[in-house]
Structures are given as structure tokens and as C-alpha cells.
Structure 1
Amino acid sequence: MMESMINAPTTASSPPPPPSPVSTNKRTTNSRQNRKRPFPSKESKFKDLNGKGGGGSSKPGPSGFSGERSNPKGSSSEDGLVVFAKASEIDWFNSQVMITRVLKDIVWHSPSDTACVEATKVLIASVLDKMKGSNVHNRLLVISGAPVNIDGMSVEGSLIRALRGCGGVHGNEMWISGNSAVVEIRSLAKVNEAYEILKQNKVWYPLEDYVLYPTVNVFRVTDSLKLASPSDPQGEQILVKFLKNKIADPEMPDKLNFNASETLSSIFMSCYSTSISFVVESTDEEEEGDSEIFLSEEQLALKIPGNLLELFLEAVKATEEENYLKEVLNRFGEKRKKKKTSEEEKESHDHDGIDKLELEQQRSLREQNQGKSHENPQVESVSGLTLQGFLEWCSELMKTQPNLLWKGIFATGYDIRFDRIWLFQEPSLIYSHFHSDKWAFEKDAALISYMDSFSQSLHIDPTRIQPAELYLTESDYLNPNFNCLQDTEIGYLRVRWAMLQKMNTLLSKKLLAHISVHAGNSTRRSLAKLLHDSRQLLLYYTKDTFLYKIIHTSAARGSETPTPEVMLDPVSSIGSQDDSVFKNQLSQVIQQMSTITSAFYCVPQAQGADPALPISVKFQGEEVLGLSGSFRHFLLNAAKELQSETVKLLCRCPSADAGKHKDSFIITPGKLSYGEEDFLHFLGQLIGISIRSDAPLALQLLKVTWRSLLLGEKEENDCSDDMIEADVLCATYLQKLESFSTKMAFDNFLSLNSWPKFQYPSMDNNSVVSLCSEGSNISVSFSNRDQFIKLIKQLREKELRSSNRVTKILTGLSTIVPLPALLSLFTSDHLSLRIVGSPEVNLSILKNPAHVMYQVGVSENDPHIMYFWAALESFTPEELKKFIKFSANLERVASNLPLPSLRTIW
């Protein structure tokens, strides 16, 4: 049923079809009786769908709808409608239909499918509503009581070092005044962690005697721009001083600075531009050509899209009284004579975009509050506000209540640096932008790639990163992976991220568990095919969580079953003159693992510092504490031997001769021998063991090789791009052949290259391959050069794909890990990250209790432990990699993302 949902015109009010009746006499009789019942009315249908009809209970089946029922005849209403789903199940169904239609619209571009278009617009409207306002104030931390004997530079350095594991201070900007400071954390998800870190005295004082000093006070900031602990007057003064400093002119503290004035002016003008078409009355001054813009009380109170001033006024209301706006107008506004307008002009005025009845109701309500009579609505003057009066009022707020002023600025969608963080546009306009030539699918892929890397740097679930926290720096735009985003306004990127984030959340919780993803490459127009085509829109965390669930549920070895043991002799090949492949450690492992059923390697996903591992590796003559150290050492040695000249399963990338990808390898092309089949099958099993143990396997494979493991998925890359990446010398040679326009110049080039034939060296340079029958006897000429170039490209494509060898690797991998989730959902970059791990080392992950075990009597607050972590914080990234290599036998670490919880997967 789920596979047909994608093309079914099912509406939100349609219940799921009942399951097929079992072929028994009793069920057949009931079915016949049901057919004789009168057809239910429309009212009874809605009654039952809302969960108010019927009396039987239902239990969800595997598809999310009702399966077993306590009443064998089903739950029926008075009109005879059989209800097979609960209200919650219909919500689940509607969520699946909605996310499916959005994916179809984004990935398959279905502008003619109005249901898909409307679903996307609904999603845009939903994320826009949640993006309103700003969470910048919740990311602020106020610090008081810092050491007075250190200068501001030392305080800044202490803050940068302490908050490095939390993503650092946003933009490395912080406000420091004496022994107090205010910092903005990069992400709201890391505020609590940063709060706990800064509360520790060891951040500020010498480690040997930090307990002797008074505690440094750290405060969070609430939505009302006050401290979460208001008992400290000093902290409140620091926050007020900081807010004033951000908005006041440095040379004239009683005046607003330039950025604040420009921002507040744009807020004021938004009211004028959006309300001018909705207000009929005008003043005499406007008729006389007064250039100063005047906003009446009616305009200020209009609740229409785009009126930022109304949001500002609502946020800065000091009291809940209705006359607050009137008091502001009395102090900073002015009154002007209102031009009398006939009733015919009022009725003929066009109120596009807002309901006339609603406008009249708002106007009548204000007249009642002002004590006016409906019988005589005309007045001689109207109260209003000019831009100058508005700025004077804001200046007064800055001096007396800066928290209220900032509260209003945040409510209109600006951050602490006066940058807009969300769009004030209709969903239809945003939809048109995303479906125009200004937006391409590669921008979605680049945005997902950026958020993947950003979430890994913070070590958090990417769905916790709020759209307002998306900032791209100049260095990000210069990155080749993200430079396609540099011509897009940041507001559109935030809206798009909110959409992709919502999609990933719904897919993870509502859809992935109910889709047979193995049909992604074969069945057209199916949900599996749709997910396969949208794999570049799926976050790595979404895929890894799904794979984690599959690995956990497919575990075949119980906790009572002993771990298969592999015994290795580490000194057998040292000093040996025999370079035979049968003398290395890989051969020892293959011989021992060939006698063990692969089900014994299928353990649940590894967790913790010393988890259950697929195999237990022991080295003769060596004693190792625990199993993880020897296992990681075995994986490290296995990766080195696989990339050595002895095994020859992998060969060095030909581009290495030109100085590109020097440390990258590809699968050695050519025909297969029986011994190579065993080694390739073992390589697949080794990759599966690495995935289940969550221990990186340091294979430095070229990107095109990872694509070949995904059964030849090109991911928008053509053969020319792959050839440039793998064999740049061959690509340059072919470009040179194509560049000649005359036969004479072409013949001169051939003479310099020894008059080549229709044959070309293989990628491993061990043989010369004939490009066609009798290719060694056919010379290249100006007339047949196109055929020569075409055949070389076909040869390189075939060698890079190495389908015969890839099949053997995947066969071995399938004995350890279910393949459909990997092959259908993962991209080449995500597959590489899952197997090889991340090259970046996040120190906060190393401190995590899941990766560190303190022996009895040792605490993280012991001086020598704190000195140890302080030393690691001073390491450069390269030094951290060397430390990991020394301490854990790892050249890379697993993905810098938190392990998913089985309770939160679905």
C-alpha cells in the first residue's frame, strides 16, 4: 500500500482501506452483511474520522493502520461505517502523504501536480511561522566576578579556549568590561554545556589552587531579556550595560548608532509601505505635500503581513493595558487635521490582501476603546507618529529600558548585529524563488553538506540547529563544496534549511521505517525510488540513525554466545624475504575466519568505550588490557596491508604521478583470480565488521571508488570528471587530441608521441590493453581520432567501475550488514564518512564518558587529569591526530555526531 501512496490522490480525510478478509465462512458472511448496510452520510464519516464514532479499540498493525481488533466485526458507527484507524494513525498517514508530495515536488519537479505544489507551500508557511522572532538572546551568557588580576586579553583567551568544544564564541566577538563579559554561543543546543563549563573555576584560575578562589557567576538570559537568576544586581547591570553598548553611539551615548537608526527606520517604513493601501483617511499636511511620513494610530495597529512596526510595538509593551500606544503617541507623537473623505470614496477604496469586514471590526473596536460614537465617526484631528518621533521614543527606551528596545528589535527578525535572520515574504513568493532558475538542486546538496559538517563540529544532532543559527563566512563561500551558495541571500538559505530539516525529521520518524528501500534502483515512481533520488537531501545523521536501527535489529549473535577469536603472529612477517601474499596478517585472518559462520560477526551497534565486538583479536606473545585496543590495531594494520604492493587489491591513483591525490587508491582493474575473489570477499566482510564495531577502517579510496561501491552511482558526475580525478594525465592527453583543428598539426603531435596505435596502458600500468580487435595494428589518424578518444574513455570508465570486483566486495559486505540502506540512501561522501571516519578530531568527544574510562580512585577533577586535558586543548589539529594515533591506534575517528538512541529513532 505504501508503494502506491505516492501516486494515489488520497485526501487528508480519507481513512485507510480495510485489510483483506481472511477466507473463512465467518468472515465471508460478515463481509456480505456489511455490503447490505446503508451507505453512511457525509456527517457520519467526519464524525468517525475525528475519533468520536465507534466503540471498539484498535491496535496499529505493521503499516501504521489498524491491524488486530478486539471486536471481530470491526468498530462500527450507528450508520454502519467500519472504522479501521485511530485519529493518531490518520495523522501519521497525512504526515506521510505530505512529506511524499514535498519530496516529489523538490526532487522530481512536478509543477503540474497541484497537490505537491500546495504541500510544499504549506511546509514553507509552517517553517516561516516557526522562524519568527529571534533566539539570539537565549544564546547569550553573562559572566561576572571574573579574576580582577588578569587583563581583558587573558579573559578573552580563557573564553575562547573554554568554549572551543561548544562551537566557540559566535564570530569570535565578545564584550568584556573589567571583570565581566557577555558572550554569544554559536548554537542554542550548546548553551547549557557552555554554561556548565564557564561555571568551573579551573577555566579562570591556576589549576593547582583554583578551589581557593571565589566562584565566577554565569547567567543565562530569558525571553524577556532579563537574567534567569535576577537575585544578582551586578549581573543585571552588566546585561543592561551590554545592551546599551550594542545600540548606542560610541561618541554620543545618548544617541542611537548608525546601524540601530537604519534598522529602526526600516521597521518604521515597513508599516508605511504595507498599510498605505489599507487606510482611506489622509491628513491635510499630506495633501499639501509634506515630505515627512506620518503614521496614524490606525496604521500602527494594523495586523497585516509585513508590518514590522506592529510586531515591534507588541513586543515592547511594558504593560497589558490597551492605552499603552496612546501614551506613546501623547509623548512622542503629534496630531494632524484629517481630510474628510466621502463615504463613496471609502467604499470604492481597494483593500487588496486583507478582509474588509476585518478592517471594519478593528476600526470599530478602536473607536469603542476611545469612547467614540458610531453615529458620528468623523473627528477633526488624528493622532500619529513620525519617523523622528519614533526614533526619539527608541532613544528614550535605550536610556531607560534597553531590554525592551532589544526585545522589539528581536521580535522583528533582527539579531544582535542588526542583520535580518528571517524573511517577510508570502509562501507563494518564496516557492517561486525556489522553483526558478535562481535555485538548483546542487544548492540543496551543498546546504546539506554544510550543515552536516557544522553539526559534526558541534557534536550535536543537526535537527537541533535552528535556521537563525545558519551563518556562512567568506571562507565558507570560498570552499569548492559550498561556493554555489554565494549568490543566494542568507534569508532564503535559512528558509530552505528549515524545510530540509523538517523533511528529515518527518522522514526519520514517519516514513523510513515503512519503506522497502531495496527497490530504489529498480522500481520507477515508487517511494523507494523517490528516497533514492533524494539521498542528497538526507542528512548524514538521518541515514546513520536509520542504519543504526537496522544494524541493531539484525544482530544474530546473542550476549551469551562467545566472541569468535582470531590469533595473529605479529612477528612472522618481520624480516622475511618472502613477499608472498600468504605470509601477511590478512592471510592469517582469512584462513581463520573462513571456518566461522558470518552470523557470529553480526553484533549490535557498538557503544561505549569497550563494546561487544564482532571478533576478538589476540596477538601471540602480547598482553593487552581489554579487546578494543588490539581490535583497532588489527584494523589499522589490515588497511595498510590492503594498500600495499603485496596484496595488490588496491592500486595507487594514476593522478599521483601528476601530484594530485597522492595518498588515494582505486580498486585494481583486470580479470579476477580465485585467490583475489577470496580477498575481495574478505574485504567486504572487513568493511562490515568496521561498520558494526563503529571503528574506522583507514582506506584512502578515491571518491569515484566509493561511487562504484554504490553500484556505479554517478551523482551528477560524468566520466570526464571521474577521469580528471583519477587519471589527470590521460584526461590531459585526450583534451590535447581533441584540440587540433588541422591534420598537419595533429600528425606532428603523433610523431612526437611515437605514432600511437589503438591500445592504451591500464590504470595499474601493468599491461597494455587493446582498445578494439587488432588494435595493435591500427594506427591513430586525424580521421579516426574521435573513435580512439571514445574507446579510451570507455576503457577508463570500465576500469574505474570495476563491476566484477565490486560485486565480490558487496557480497562479503552483505554477510555482515544489510545492504539496501547503504546502497539506496548513502552518497559516496556519506559512505566514506561511515566507513573511514572523520579526519577532524573533536576534543569534546574525547572527553565524553562514552569514550573515556577513569580507573577507581581517579576523577576528572584531579589535578593531573585537568593538566592532561589542558595540554590537549593547546594541541593543533595535526598534533591531536598524532595523539589519537599514539593512544588509540587510530588515524581517524568515528563520525563526530552523538550516537542515536533506540528510543528516539521511531
Structure 2
Amino acid sequence: MGYDFHFYRNHYLSLEETVKSLQNPELEGQLFSLDESIVKYSESIFTEIRDFRSPIGLKSTLIHPIDQDSMHCLSYPQLVKLPVPDIRLRYELLRQFNARLFSALPFLSLESNSVIVKSTLMLRNLIFHSVKMEFFYDVMDKTSTVHNAPTVRYNRLKLAARLEKRNPNEILTDEGILKNTAFGIAFSQLRHVDPELLRPKKPSGTEPHFALLIEFRGEHVQGEGGPYRQFFTDVSRELRDVNSLPLLIPCPNAKGKVGEGRDKYVISPSAKSRLHLKMFKFLGQLMGMSIRTGVLLTLDLPPFFWKQLVSAQVTMTDIEAIDTHFYGTMRFFEEASDSDFSTIFQKFTVPLSDNSICLLKKGGDEIDVTFENRHEYVKFAQKARLNECSSQIKAIKRGLTDVVPHHLLGLLTWQDLEWRICGKPMIDIKLLKRHTVYNSVSPTAPHILYFWQVLEEFNQEDRRAFVRFVWGQERLPANDQEFNRTATRMLIKPYSGTTSPDQAFPRADTCFFNLFLPEYSSPDILREKLMVACHFDADSMNADNVVPDDAEPENVFL
């Protein structure tokens, strides 16, 4: 009769009804965004159920109507008022499309200009994440090489000592960057390395996957995974410090404390010297290594950045997300009346994200913007801002495609690429819990239950501090698939000290994502000890001595 077990209208009973639904004039112009929402909604259901390899295995009857009081209502507002048969019909079409594409992808030559390839790439937002990423990493595996990893050597302790002595407002020279930053030292040591050596074969099992062998001089470190992750953490920190590296700067909204995206960084338009462009290329190579090996760069970059790397169109909406003032100014010029221009003193110039001035035409600093030429000014100003970092983006993309096959990028959305390189900024405790295993301790032991309770109560800053303490990174893999692909799991082991557990601190084997957790007698004691451990300054990776469980909290890299 067209109804399911829950008495929701399940499907249309005739072909005529089905065709009429697909041709609904009220949805004209909305279908692509509607289908995007259905793909994301079905993937969220797939994540909750996790009984299938991908959303292809979901039956349409599992796509339930969205309750107006649910969180899904905020995430997928377009689907709230859409009839259930329409949602399920469109989902079934998308599911069938993905099922056939899953089988066809290995036979498509993505570098060709054929109609079928162009159409597939145009529909990349409608491809289930698991479908595209399984193909993506299969190609990555087949383009990897077996070799000894290039080595980067530097003394982190000396770098930290120099940083402490430096004036906080002192901007490093190019020579200073090459000598006093992990990024600059690695850039100098790797600039002539064959990019093929940066594409390592993924090892079997839980062996660490790394593209570089990082050697910390002056520190006794055993294992490769911990130093490798710490290097990417160090580089991420330097990239966020405008006085250490001139490549990225806080976006205009961050500097003006207005609008959205105040946590975002953008490329500095003035960083375009020959050396800077080589550094941007190296940044692209680091991003490629991040994708291949699963280590994360902790960077907050806006869609305006990521879209250009996957050749997606950037618009003024992307500019608004990083520079509300400029966006508003352009709107004002477009809508201003003739009389408004009596009080406007604007030349044919525009400030870029770093406040450097760009001439929009020859002699633009002497040409007034008038009511008659205002549209020309807006056109030129918008073009300048949309392309303000095009040379730097090209350099990053050259480096990225040294490590990742160029044509694979066309299969990714901008968010796919961001999650592969930077993970998600929000630490999802439920996701971490699904990928935690236990050694000689029960997952239902009281102190384990206290542990998860306390982590859930942590704010995002404290959660990032915990991940950094136990793993040497500030973010987790983006989803279950990434956890599984990178063989990442947290292992909780029992406390083995001789003193009272309530007096001991947690300890971490950061190389292996292992946590040694004492059997605390209450959530409050566990919270106190864990907070001290997470925020204790344990940046050194020196593991010369075995640290007893009842000593001060420390990351031990073994």
C-alpha cells in the first residue's frame, strides 16, 4: 500500500506518481543542493548504524523523516518539509548512481576530457564519501614507492631556546626562517629530494606510516611515529605564527574582530618572492605527505583556500566569510546613488588581505571612483581579491601533486581535501571511543567509565590538549574510515605503580597512542590528574629514563 512498518508513506505506487514527483516545478533550481543534503543525511545515518561498508548498503526505508526538534533539522533544513516518499525516491536514485559508479571508477581515465569523466567530476558532491575514498586510496597505494625515507635532522630544544630569547614582535628574516624554524630547516634539507621519495608504501598492520624520518638531535627517542607526528605539529604551530613564517596571516575578519571565520588563516598576498613560492610548494608537499600517511596539519584555512586547490569556483560568498568589510563595501558601491558619491573619495585601488594596496588599472591611484564607473571598479576589485593569492595557490598545488596524482583532486570536494589534510577541528569523543581498545583492563571498569565521562565534559580546548598529550597531534582522523585506513586506535593500559592510584598521574606512549590510566576512585580525582597531565609542559620528547607511573606527568615517546 506504499507505507512502511512505522506507517510513513514509503514510496509511490505508480510510475506516473514517481515521474510527477521528479518533475516537481517547486523544486526547480534546488535539486542539486537538495541531493547534496540527502547524500550528507544518508551518510550520517550510515555512521550511526555502521552495519554496512558504505551508504550503498542502506535501504531507503532507513531514511526516516526529519523531526523538527532534532539536530538533523539544523543540518538539513531543506529536507524537513520534503515528503518522505520524495526523500526516499531521490535517495534511491543517488544510491543506484553510486553503486554503478563504484564499479565503473577504476575504468575511468580521470585525466581525459570525455563527457562521462566531465559529468562524473561535476557530480563529485553527490558521490558517497566511502565510494570516492576507497578508489582514491587504491590509486594512492598503486602510485606509492618502496624506499628509505629521506631524513630531516634538527635540534628542537635549541630552537625552543632561541624562540624564548627572541623578541615576540621580531619578524624572522628569510635567513632566520631557514635556520630557526622546523619548517625552514626541513625545507632546506629536502628541497633537492626527488618527490618520488615522498610517496611511501603503506606498511601492513599497525606499523607507522611515515614519509620522512625525523631525527631530533639532543633527545633520546625510540620509534619513528612520534617524532614524525610531532614534526607536523611543530610546523603547524609555526605556520600560525606570523612572526616565524610569513606565508599565512589571520584573515581580515580575525584582525577586525567582525563577521564569521575569525579563527581562519589566509595566504599572505605579499609572500610571493621566489623563495616564498618555493616554500609554498614545500607546504603543498607536506600536505601531500599528510594525505598519504594520515598525519595531520593543524591549520584553520577557509573554503576560499581549499576550493582553489580542487579547482572549484570561488565566489564573493567565500570572500564574505573571511572579509565582511570588503564584501559590504562592494555591496555599497553597487547600490549607491549618485548623491552618495559626493562624500566618497575612493581611487581605483583595493586593499588585499594583508592590507597591501593593489592598483586595479594603470594609474589607478590617481583615478577617482564615480557613480558612472562604479560597476567597473567593483568588477576589478572583486577580481583582484578573488585572485589575490593565485600564484601561491599554484605553487602549493605543484607541491601537492608531486605527492598526490593530479587528477585525483578533481574527485574531491573542498571539504574532502580539508579533512584529509587537517582532520576536523572538533574532537568527537564518541568517534574516539569507537576506536579505543583495552589491554588488561575492562571497558566497564569504574575508572574507565569515569574517564569517558570526564572527556565528554571537557571543552574543545581541553580535548585537543588531551589528544596532544596522548598522541602528539591536536586533531583526530576525520571519520571511522580514516581511523581504519590509518590503523589508528587509542590503547588504554592499566596503572602499574607502587603508590596509591589516586596519587599518580596518567602517562602516554605518544608514538603508539597508548594511555596508562591509574584506577582513580572518583571522576573528580581523575579530572584533576588528567587536566594536569594534559596541560603540563611536556613538549620534550626525551625518553632517556623510564618514568615511573607515580612521577610527574609526562609524554614518553617509545
Shorter-chain TM band:
0.7 to 0.9
Equivalent residue of 1:815, what SS? helix
State the Cα deviation string for residues 781-832 of structure 1 (Å, max 9, x = none): 2222222222211211221xx332222111111221112112x211112211
Query: Which residue number corresponds to residue 516 of structure 2?
Result: none
Shift of 1:545: 0.8
**Do the aligned partners of residues 680 and 736 (structure 1) sit closer, same or farther apart at CA in structure 2, a change above 3 Å counting?**
same
Q: 1:665–1:702: 8 Å Cα contact kept in structure 2? A: yes
Shift of 1:526: 1.9
Equivalent residue of 1:573, what SS? helix
Q: 1:545–1:900: 8 Å Cα contact kept in structure 2? A: no
Partner Cα distance (2:287, 2:274) in 1: 20
Partner Cα distance (2:198, 2:245) in 1: 24
Q: Whose radius of gyration is greater, 1 or 2?
A: 1
1:698 aligns with 2:292: no
Equivalent residue of 2:403, what SS? coil
1:552 aligns with 2:141: yes
Partner Cα distance (1:425, 1:834) in 2: 43
Query: Which residue number corresponds to residue 790 of structure 1?
Result: 379
Q: 1:602–1:816: 8 Å Cα contact kept in structure 2? A: yes
For residue 890 of structure 1, what is the amino acid of its counterpart?
Q
For residue 442 of structure 1, what is the amino acid of its counterpart?
S
Provide runs of 4+ in structure 1 moved above 6 Å. none
Equivalent residue of 2:201, what SS? coil
Partner Cα distance (1:734, 1:584) in 2: 39
Q: 1:643–1:649: 8 Å Cα contact kept in structure 2? A: no
1:100-111 mapped onto 2 (5 Å cutoff) = none
State the Cα deviation string for residues 416-460 of structure 1 (Å, max 9, x = none): xxx415113324422332233233111011222233344445566
Partner Cα distance (1:450, 1:899) in 2: 19
1:516 aligns with 2:109: yes
Query: Which residue number corresponds to residue 573 of structure 1?
Result: 159
**Do the aligned partners of residues 496 and 555 (structure 1) sit closer, same or farther apart at CA in structure 2, a change above 3 Å counting?**
same
Query: Which residue number corresponds to residue 249 of structure 2?
Result: 651
Partner Cα distance (1:736, 1:870) in 2: 51
Query: Which residue number corresponds to residue 663 of structure 1?
Result: 263
Query: Which residue number corresponds to residue 90 of structure 2?
Result: 496
Q: 1:601–1:615: 8 Å Cα contact kept in structure 2? A: yes
* Structure 1, unpaired ranges of 5+: 1-305, 309-411
Normalized against structure 2, the TM-score is what? Answer: 0.76
Q: 1:446–1:482: 8 Å Cα contact kept in structure 2? A: yes
Partner Cα distance (2:91, 2:381) in 1: 42
Q: 2:124–2:412: 8 Å Cα contact kept in structure 1? A: yes
1:506 aligns with 2:100: yes
**Do the aligned partners of residues 466 and 604 (structure 1) sit closer, same or farther apart at CA in structure 2, a change above 3 Å counting?**
farther
1:781 aligns with 2:367: no
Shift of 1:773: 1.0
Query: Which residue number corresponds to residue 237 of structure 1?
Result: none
1:762 aligns with 2:352: yes
For residue 438 of structure 1, what is the amino acid of its counterpart?
E
Query: Which residue number corresponds to residue 11 of structure 2?
Result: 423
Partner Cα distance (2:279, 2:299) in 1: 15
Partner Cα distance (1:438, 1:887) in 2: 52
**Do the aligned partners of residues 725 and 901 (structure 1) sit closer, same or farther apart at CA in structure 2, a change above 3 Å counting?**
closer
Among 333, 341, 352, which residue is 1:746 paired with?
Answer: 341
Among 185, 209, 212, which residue is 1:615 paired with?
Answer: 212
Among 434, 458, 471, which residue is 1:888 paired with?
Answer: 471
For residue 39 of structure 2, what is the amino acid of its counterpart?
I
For residue 829 of structure 1, what is the amino acid of its counterpart?
Q
The total of aligned residue pairs comes to: 463
Q: 1:606–1:692: 8 Å Cα contact kept in structure 2? A: no
Partner Cα distance (1:708, 1:534) in 2: 17
1:149-168 mapped onto 2 (5 Å cutoff) = none
Query: Which residue number corresponds to residue 401 of structure 2?
Result: 814
Shift of 1:770: 1.2
Shift of 1:671: 6.8
**Do the aligned partners of residues 566 and 853 (structure 1) sit closer, same or farther apart at CA in structure 2, a change above 3 Å counting?**
farther
Partner Cα distance (2:294, 2:9) in 1: 38
Shift of 1:566: 1.9
Partner Cα distance (1:843, 1:881) in 2: 11
Q: 1:414–1:421: 8 Å Cα contact kept in structure 2? A: no
Q: 2:429–2:456: 8 Å Cα contact kept in structure 1? A: no
Equivalent residue of 1:463, what SS? helix
Q: 2:149–2:200: 8 Å Cα contact kept in structure 1? A: no
**Do the aligned partners of residues 843 and 496 (structure 1) sit closer, same or farther apart at CA in structure 2, a change above 3 Å counting?**
same
**Do the aligned partners of residues 572 and 434 (structure 1) sit closer, same or farther apart at CA in structure 2, a change above 3 Å counting?**
farther
Equivalent residue of 1:829, what SS? helix
Shift of 1:594: 2.6
Partner Cα distance (1:773, 1:597) in 2: 42
Shift of 1:511: 0.3
Shift of 1:513: 0.1
State the Cα deviation string for residues 835-883 of structure 1 (Å, max 9, x = none): 211234444553566x6574xxx34469487456544565456354442
Partner Cα distance (1:608, 1:596) in 2: 28
Query: Which residue number corresponds to residue 527 of structure 1?
Result: 116
Partner Cα distance (1:763, 1:674) in 2: 20
Q: 2:248–2:267: 8 Å Cα contact kept in structure 1? A: yes
**Do the aligned partners of residues 495 and 611 (structure 1) sit closer, same or farther apart at CA in structure 2, a change above 3 Å counting?**
farther
State the Cα deviation string for residues 581-633 of structure 1 (Å, max 9, x = none): 22211111112223433222212347765423111223222234432222222
**Do the aligned partners of residues 477 and 844 (structure 1) sit closer, same or farther apart at CA in structure 2, a change above 3 Å counting?**
closer
Query: Which residue number corresponds to residue 230 of structure 2?
Result: 633
**Do the aligned partners of residues 786 and 897 (structure 1) sit closer, same or farther apart at CA in structure 2, a change above 3 Å counting?**
same
Between the two proteins, what is the percent identity of the paired residues? 22
Q: CA RMSD in A?
A: 2.8
Equivalent residue of 1:757, what SS? coil
Query: Which residue number corresponds to residue 49 of structure 1?
Result: none
Query: Which residue number corresponds to residue 481 of structure 2?
Result: 898
Equivalent residue of 2:26, what SS? coil
Partner Cα distance (1:421, 1:562) in 2: 60
Q: 1:598–1:815: 8 Å Cα contact kept in structure 2? A: yes
For residue 365 of structure 2, what is the amino acid of its counterpart?
S
Normalized against structure 1, the TM-score is what? Answer: 0.48
Query: Which residue number corresponds to residue 721 of structure 1?
Result: 317
Query: Which residue number corresponds to residue 598 of structure 1?
Result: 195
1:448 aligns with 2:39: yes
1:435 aligns with 2:23: yes
**Do the aligned partners of residues 425 and 786 (structure 1) sit closer, same or farther apart at CA in structure 2, a change above 3 Å counting?**
same
Partner Cα distance (1:483, 1:739) in 2: 31
* Structure 2, unpaired ranges of 5+: 486-558
Shift of 1:740: 2.5
Q: 1:757–1:778: 8 Å Cα contact kept in structure 2? A: yes
Partner Cα distance (1:797, 1:886) in 2: 39
State the Cα deviation string for residues 663-714 of structure 1 (Å, max 9, x = none): 1122222472121122111111100110111122222111011111113x12
